[in-house]
Amino acid sequence: MIIKIAKEFKWEMSHRLTFHKGPCKNIHGHTYRLLVEISGVPDENGMVMDYYDLEAIVNPLIMMLDHAFLCDENDRIMLDFLKANDFKHYVIPPTTTAENIARYILEYLLQYFQKYQNLKELMIRFQETEDVYAEISHKFA
């Protein structure tokens, strides 16, 4: 029997899209939400994973992102400014679109979830605003 469980996380973060022709080229922030959903075979106690363990995996990343500027690795203007002024920032490869952030978070979390042999799938929903999100999943072998 396969069961899904999920936990939601929320934090504040800013970014910009250097390629954008509209207002998103400017520095702006969002209240982000992340839904982490796992499916798998429950253990002898009926748990797919303890919610505390799930939180222990995800929270360190959330703490790094919270109240940080998420920066495109190629955005020299922002990187130089953030470093020169000792502002909290986190750098990811390509641009900081919702799709790329979702992919980055999934790949980051996979290293921790892969050790659980009972898991079948990891899905994340990265919500940038109240009405838009990007979703990505990984099926375990």
Annotated catalytic sites, by residue? 24, 67, 128
Tokens of 62: 């959330």
Q: Which residues contact 34 (CB under 8 A, 6 or more apart)?
A: 8, 9, 10, 58, 62, 105, 124, 125, 126, 127
Question: How big is the chain, counted in residues?
Answer: 141
β-pairing, 119-129 with 28-40? antiparallel
Tokens of 93: 């490869």
DSSP bridge pairs for 107: none
